[in-house]
Amino acid sequence: MDKLVIEGGKPLSGTIVIQGAKNAALPILAASMLVEGKVTIDHVPKLLDIDVMLNILRELGCRAEHENQTVQLDTSTLQSSHIPEALMRQMRSSIFLMGPLLARFGEVTIYQPGGCAIGERKIDLHLSGLQALGALVVEEGSRIVCYADELTGAEIHLDFPSVGATENIMMAAVLAKGLTTISNAAREPEIQDLQQFLNCMGAKIIGAGTDTITVEGVEKLAPCRYQVIPDRIVTGTVMVAAAATRGQVTLLNTCPAHLTSLIHVLRRTGVQIAVDGDIIKVGTATRPKSIDRIVTSPYPAFPTDLQSQLMVLLALADGVSIMKETIFEGRFKHVDELTRMGADIRVDLSSAIIRGVSRLYGATVEATDLRAGAALVIAGLAAQGKTVVEQVHHIDRGYDEIETMLGQLGARITRYSPIPNNIIVP
Ligand code: EPZ
């Protein structure tokens, strides 16, 4: 398992170009299964999660190439809708394939994706949405088989604005007969990107980005070429890293409108932020101020995917801040690791009480999930001394060579890969 070794205490400075959005690319790659032919997706970063998704598509019979941030798919050879359990367990986002494969084949077999470090990750809203469209869902242990001779448009209300369920239902409804409305839909930018992509192939969807999405079923789609939006969570991660190291950083190829909640919070801590088109400039030379209360909620509120990163900045703030996590019940696993670096944070049920300290100290810490790992990297950059972050594969799921990305901003960060035990070093 790779490790990152970080020499902290140096302000980040310089300019960086932001990668394409993992959480837009994954559903768009899945949605490509709705059409027969060659589909090209640009601005797709090289990530473990993308690799897993492409391996699943190959396993189902697709041809898939990923070169220089562009994915070339040929779905004309797609021949199976049975997602192997081993691959399903590697990445729960393979659940996104359920809707498209059901719409294309009339049958799909998946396996319960299971929980992960951040929470139970239920899929009941996905299944009930597909049932509303006419699917028969048969659960046999962890195996789930969905059948539908024909999908028919329906009025669907989500009890919770689930991102994945909204996307799965959208994709299944595209080729259904008639009109589908999804109320209390999730409003994330990645859902808007999925709508854009599907409409680029001839779908008729409106409302993504609002809480009501309408899909008018069509007979057939046509392949297209599409570019994925910038990754707002990677953008936010770099912004917080710049603030936590008291640096000056310019971020290019961003979408500031996707980050209004973070920009607002960072400005409240005293960080200077300038926005000009797709450019964000972040800078500060002073200790951040604390924030009385931050609550993670569905978009456009403060995103759960930036909670752990912001906690690092607040751990260094002048004063006490309270963060409440309302999306995932297990998303405070980074707190123990930050405490080992000298942070003063106490978790009380779904809230973390963060008493700012003047400095953090390097330590050996373990990434428990994707965004917690990114937070530990930020903590290592801000800390005095050396930090070793272990289990780096969690971070590689969502950040394309995080050490190279931050190294462009002057970070002293090196990756160490263990020598495979079948290689004898003379
Ligand atoms: C997406 O996950 C993102 N992943 C997550 O990003 C993100 O944290 C999450 O949305 C919330 O914004 C991708 O887009 C690939 P949800 P998803 O369905 O779709 C409950 C990252 O770090 N729920 O909105 O799985 C669920 O238990 C990842 O990039 C049900 O109860 O999120 C959770 O508490 C982490 N039943 C809440 O909703 C369901 O059927 C949010 O889940 C589905 C979800």
Condensed to tens digits (0 to 9), the pLDDT of residues 152-180 reads: 999 999 999 999 999 999 999 999 999 99
The DSSP element (H or E) to which 64 belongs, if any, is: strand 63-67
Q: Which of 163, 233, 305, 400 to mutate to test the pocket of ligand 1 (most atoms within 8 A of CB)?
A: 163
Q: What is the pLDDT of residue 116?
A: 74
Domains of the chain, CATH where assigned? 3-19+230-416 (3.65.10.10), 22-227 (3.65.10.10)
Strand order in the sheet with 225-227: 63-67, 70-74, 38-42, 225-227
Average pLDDT value for residue range 296-304? 98
| 3-state SS class at 172 | helix
Quick check: CB of 166 below 6 Å from ligand 1?
A: no
Q: How far is CA 221 from CA 226, 229, 232, 346, in A?
A: 14, 22, 29, 52
Q: Is the pLDDT of residue 130 over 80?
A: yes
Give me ligand 1 centre to Cα 304, in Å: 10
113 confidence band (pLDDT: 50, 70, 90): confident
By alpha-carbon position, which residue is closest to atom 35 of ligand 1?
305
Pocket test for ligand 1, best of 28, 96, 121 (most atoms within 8 A of CB): 121
- State residue 255's pLDDT score: 98
Residue 73 pLDDT greater than 80, yes or no: yes
Contact 14, 251 (CB under 8 A): no
Q: How far apart are CA 193 and CA 24, in angstroms?
A: 6
User: How many residues does the structure list for the chain?
Assistant: 426
**Is residue 126 lining ligand 1, measured as CB closer than 6 Å?**
yes
Q: What are phi and psi of 103, to 5 degrees?
A: -65, -35
Which mutation among 98, 162, 302 tests ligand 1's pocket best, with the greatest number of atoms within 8 A of CB? 162
Q: 418: cis peptide before it, omega within 30°?
A: no
Confidence band for 233, pLDDT divided at 50, 70 and 90 = very high
d(CA 72, CA 226): 11
Rounded to 5°, the CA angle 124-126-127 comes to: 65
116 flagged as catalytic: yes
Ligand 1 atom index nearest CA of 188 = 12
Out of 116, 146, 224, 255, which one is annotated catalytic? 116
Cβ(123) – ligand 1 distance below 6 Å: yes
421 pLDDT higher than 80 = no
Question: pLDDT averaged over the chain?
Answer: 96
C-beta separation of 123 from 134 below 8 A? no
* The pLDDT of residue 209 is above 90: yes
Q: What share of the chain is helix, strand, coil (3-state, %, to 5)?
A: 35, 30, 35
Q: Is the shortest distance between the CB of 307 and ligand 1 below 6 Å?
A: no
- pLDDT (tens digit, 9 = 90+) per residue, 30-61? 999 999 999 999 999 999 999 999 999 999 99
pLDDT of residue 425: 62
CA dist 129 and 163 (Å) reads 13
Q: Which atom of ligand 1 is nearest to the CA of 303?
A: 12
pLDDT band at 426 (very low <50, low <70, confident <90, very high): low
Q: Which atom of ligand 1 is nearest to the CA of 186?
A: 24
Q: How confident is the model at residue 423 (pLDDT cuts 50, 70, 90)?
A: low
* Separation of CA 355 from chain center: 28
